[in-house]
Structure 1
Amino acid sequence: MEIWRHDTNPPEIGEFNWSARVVNDKIYDIFINFKIRDDKTKISYAEVRFIPERYYHFVTKYGMRPEDYDKVFPPEGERTYVLQPADGAFDELEEEFRAEIRDIVGGKEYKIVVIAKDQAGNVETFETKTPYIRQYENFGKTLLEKGIIIAASYYTWYRADEVNNWKDGYRYTPLLGEYSSSDEIVINKHVDWATGHGINTFLISWNGPAEASSKTKVFEDVFLNAYLVKNGEIKIAILYESGARLRNSGSAFFDIFDFNDSYNREIFIKDLEYMNKKYFILTNYLKIKDKPFIYFYLSQAYRGDFDKVFKEAKEKIPFFACGSDITPYIKPWEINEVEKRLSTFDAERSWVALWVQNDPKYPEKYHDILKTKYEEWYNYLTTKGVLFIPSLIPSFDSRYVTWGSKAQYPLDKNLEKFNERINIIFPYLNATKIVVIDTFNDWFESTNIEPSREFEFKELEILKKNLIKLLKNE
C-alpha cells in the first residue's frame, strides 16, 4: 500500500496494433491487441472506446441539410469495452489485452481510445484513428476481376472557399452539400459510393500539369492521397481536356485544334511526357491491352497531322487512345478524315452518349437514336478493329449554370428512362467489356450520378441492380 501512495507515474500503453476481417475491401470487424505496463504498481483497469467520427463541417460549411447527414454518414453509436487481461486476472505489472469490435457500419473514420489504470489510481490514455472505413463492399472490384470496366467522368474543380464556384449555378443539389474537391472525406465518400455500386474507374478531367492547373494540383496532392484511392480501391485514367490544353483556331461555334500548329504539337508531347512520369506508373492507373488509357475529349475537332503526332508519340510512350468522334447525325464512314481517325484511335466513344440539347424533338426520339446509332457504330468499328465504347448519361441540363444555354431542351432525370438507357447499352458489355458514364459529378450540366437531394441513391441503385443481373446472365 505504501508503494501505491508514492506511485504517481501512469502506466504505459504499448505494442498497440489492430487487424481486420475484410470482405471486398470493406472492414467488418476489428481485432485490437495491446499491452499495459507499470514499473511499480499492478494494472487494475483497461477500457477501449470505439468512436465514430463526426463531420460537422458538411453542415456548417458545405450547407448539407441536417436531415441528410445520416443518409451520408450512417448513424452508429460510440462503443465502450471494459476488458479483462488475456490471462484472466489483474495480477501483474504487465498485462496483455484483446478487444473485438464487430459489425462495423462504415462510411467514416473512427477513433480508438484506450484507457489504462494502475492500482494507485494513475491513468493513461492512448488514442489513434482508423483510415476511412467503407460503407459498401467494393462491387466495382468484383466486376473488374471479371474484366468489366464501368468508368465515370470525374471532376476535381469544386471549391468551398472565397472563390466558391458553386455560385455559378446548378439544377440538382448534391446530397453532400456544396463541397470542396480538396476534402479527403468527400473523395473517400465518392469512391465508396461509386465502387459500392459498380463503378470501378474514374476518368479524371485533366487541364494540364499541376503548376498550370489548380484542378490538377487537387488531383495530385489530395485525390491521389485519399485513403481509398491510395489503397488502390478504384482505377483512374485521364480525360484529356483538349480545349484547356490546345490552341483553338476555330470559332465560338466550331472548335479546331490544328496539329500542324507547332504550339499544339509541343504541348501535346509535353503533356504525354508529364502523364507518363506522374500517372502511368501508378498501380491503379487503368490499362487496356497493357497500355495506359487516355480519353481525348473533343478529338472530333483535331485537324492537321494529328495521326502522325499520335503515331510518333505512341512509339515513345505507348498508350491506348480513345477518341470522341461518335456523333448522332453522321454515318461512321462519313466523319471527317475517317481513315486517319481510325488509325489514330484504339477506341471511340461519344461524349454524353449522343445527347443533343438544341433539338426540340430530340428528347422523345433519343432512345431510338441510341439504339440505331450505337448498333451502327459498333458494327462499323468492329470491322475496322477499333473498340466501340458505349456511353451512358443520367440526365443533361445546363440551363442553370451561368455559361449554359437557356434555350436548350434538357434531358430530365427520370428513373424509368435511365433504366431503359442502361438496358439499351449494357448488351454491348458482352463484347466491349467497358461502359463510360458521363458523369459522376458534373453538377453544372446536371449529368451527375452522384447522389442528390432530389434522387438520393436511386440512380446508383438502378445501375447496381442491372450490373448484378448482367453478372448472373454471364
Structure 2
Amino acid sequence: MRYIHLVLIVALMAGACKKELTGPGPEGSILNYEIPEVPVTQDYTVGAFYTSFGGWNANIKEVPVAGKYAMPAGVIPPEVMAKHIDYAVKGGVDYFVFSFRSPNRDATNYRSDSTLIRGFQHANGEGKMQFAVAYNFSTGTYGGISAGNPIEKDKARLTQFFEDFHRIVPLLTSAGYQQVDGKPILYILNAQTLFSDNNKAIYDTLRSKFKEWGVTPYLVGMQDRWTPPARYQIRFDHCVDAIIHQSFSSQNNNWDRFYLLPQVMDQNWQYSKKYFADTYAADYIPNITPAHTWLIGTPTSTNPEYSRKDSGALFTKLCNVAKLNASEKTRLIMIDSWNNWNEDTQLEPAVSYGELYLNIVRKQFKK
C-alpha cells in the first residue's frame, strides 16, 4: 500500500510540474561571471603546434587559402611552407612547434619529422620566424606499458632515451630556434607517461647531459587535458621548468564545461598555475584552440561543437583567459594548432573565414 501511495504522489508531482521542467541554464551558474579584458602592454610570445599529415580527409569542409596540401613522409611543398611562415608572422605567431619522435623506437616518424623540420628551415631562409620541437613520449616509446615497468630497469632503453635528446641538440643550437630567458625551449608531449622510480633523478641526469653537450634547455612537460595539477606530482615535481595541458578547448565532450568554457578554463588555470608554481617550482603555459569539430572523424558525433559560426567570439574570449593566466615572467602562449585540419583546430587561413583568426591573435597578444 505504501508503494502505491508513493507512486501516486510522484505521478501527481510530475503532472503538476510538467510545464515547469525546463531545467537550469548556464546563466544561473556560479561560474557565469564576467572575465575582465586584459590590455596588452607588452607582447606575448605566441607559439603554434604544427601538424604533419599524409592525406586530406574527405569530411573536411574548409579549404586552405594556400590550397589543399599534404606532407607524405614529411615532405611539404616549399611554396606552402613559405606561405605558412608569411601568414604566421603577419598574425603575430612567433614560432612553430614541430613533433620530434624517437629514432630508436619510432624510426619512420622520426624520418618524417626530421624532413618536415628541414623543410621549414629551408623555407625560412630569411629568418622571418622561430621554431621549436616537441619530443613525444608516445605509447610504446619510453613511457613503458605501465608504472610497473620503470625505465631504470631497462638499461638499453634508458641509454636510447638519452641518445634521443642528444640528437635534438643540433636543432636546439641552430639559428632561429625559440629561446626563453636565453634557453632553447623544448616541449615534451605525454610527459606524464615517463614511468620511472625517480623522475626527478632522470631529469637531473638529463640536464647534466645537456650541460655536457653545451645546452641548458627550458623544459616544458605536457599532461593530458582536464587533469588536476596534483595527479602527476611524481612525474613533474621539480623535473620541468614549465607545464602545459593538452588544449581544453579541443576534444571537449562535456556539455557542462562547454556552456561556460572560458570561465571553467579560467578557474582550472588559476588553480593549476598556482599549484605548479608553489609545488613544482614550474611556470604554466596556457594552450588554446581556435575551433574544434568531432564531425570530421566521427560524422555521427553528438558531442559539443566548438564551431566557427560565431566569427571568432569564443576564441577571442579564450585568448583573454590565456592572457589572464600566462606566466608574468615568460608571457608564453600556445595555440593548438596551426594546421590540424582533421579536427578543424587550425589557425591557418581558410577560404571561408580568411585571416580572421590571425587578426584575433595579433590583436589579443601584440601591442
Do they fold alike, i.e. is TM over 0.5? yes
Q: Encode CA deviations 1:121-143: one digit per residue, 9 max, x unaligned.
A: xxxxxxxxxxxxxxxxxxxxxx9
Looking at structure 1, the residues matched to 206 and 87 of structure 2 have their Cα atoms a distance apart, in angstroms, of 36
Identity %: 17
Query: Which has the larger share of strand?
Result: 1
Q: How many pairs are equivalent?
A: 309
How far has the Cα of 1:211 moved from its partner?
6.2
| Compared CA separation, residues 184 and 349, structure 1 to 2 (3 A) | same
Q: SS at 1:166's partner residue?
A: coil
TM-score, length basis structure 2: 0.75
Q: SS at 2:96's partner residue?
A: strand
One-letter code of the match for 2:64? P
How far has the Cα of 1:172 moved from its partner?
3.0
Q: SS at 2:172's partner residue?
A: coil
Looking at structure 2, the residues matched to 351 and 231 of structure 1 have their Cα atoms a distance apart, in angstroms, of 32
Looking at structure 2, the residues matched to 380 and 323 of structure 1 have their Cα atoms a distance apart, in angstroms, of 15
Name the counterpart of 1:184. Answer: 78
Conservation of the 8 A alpha-carbon contact between 1:151 and 1:436? yes
Looking at structure 2, the residues matched to 259 and 436 of structure 1 have their Cα atoms a distance apart, in angstroms, of 30
Name the counterpart of 1:202. Answer: 96
Q: Which of the numbers 283, 294, 318 marks the counterpart of 1:387?
A: 283
Q: SS at 2:135's partner residue?
A: strand
How far has the Cα of 1:289 moved from its partner?
3.1
Conservation of the 8 A alpha-carbon contact between 2:249 and 2:292? no
How far has the Cα of 1:256 moved from its partner?
9.6
Looking at structure 2, the residues matched to 368 and 420 of structure 1 have their Cα atoms a distance apart, in angstroms, of 9
| Compared CA separation, residues 192 and 259, structure 1 to 2 (3 A) | same
Looking at structure 1, the residues matched to 257 and 148 of structure 2 have their Cα atoms a distance apart, in angstroms, of 26
2:183 equivalent to 1:291: yes
Looking at structure 2, the residues matched to 270 and 224 of structure 1 have their Cα atoms a distance apart, in angstroms, of 23
How far has the Cα of 1:237 moved from its partner?
0.8
Give the aligned CA root-mean-square deviation in angstroms: 2.9
Conservation of the 8 A alpha-carbon contact between 1:158 and 1:179? no
Q: Encode CA deviations 1:356-398: one digit per residue, 9 max, x unaligned.
A: 5232333113222111011111222233431111111111224
Q: Encode CA deviations 1:23-64: one digit per residue, 9 max, x unaligned.
A: xxxxxxxxxxxxxxxxxxxxxxxxxxxxxxxxxxxxxxxxxx
Please list, as runs of the form range in 1=range in 2, the aligned pairs for 1:319-334 lying within 5 A after superposition: 319-325=217-223, 327-330=225-228, 332=229, 334=230
Name the counterpart of 2:292. Answer: 396
| Compared CA separation, residues 328 and 294, structure 1 to 2 (3 A) | same
Any stretches of 5+ residues in structure 2 without a counterpart? 1-39, 211-215
Looking at structure 1, the residues matched to 327 and 168 of structure 2 have their Cα atoms a distance apart, in angstroms, of 31
Conservation of the 8 A alpha-carbon contact between 2:143 and 2:195? no
Q: Which structure has the larger Rg?
A: 1
How far has the Cα of 1:467 moved from its partner?
2.7
Q: Encode CA deviations 1:258-282: one digit per residue, 9 max, x unaligned.
A: 5346354233212101111x30121
How far has the Cα of 1:290 moved from its partner?
2.8
Query: Which has the larger share of helix?
Result: 2
2:193 equivalent to 1:301: yes
2:315 equivalent to 1:422: no
Conservation of the 8 A alpha-carbon contact between 1:398 and 1:444? no
Name the counterpart of 1:344. Answer: 239
Looking at structure 1, the residues matched to 43 and 360 of structure 2 have their Cα atoms a distance apart, in angstroms, of 21
Following superposition, which runs of at least 4 residues in structure 1 exceed 4 angstroms of deviation?
Answer: 247-251, 255-258
How far has the Cα of 1:407 moved from its partner?
5.3
Q: Which of the numbers 257, 275, 278 marks the counterpart of 2:168?
A: 275
Q: Which of the numbers 454, 460, 464 marks the counterpart of 2:358?
A: 460
TM-score, length basis structure 1: 0.59
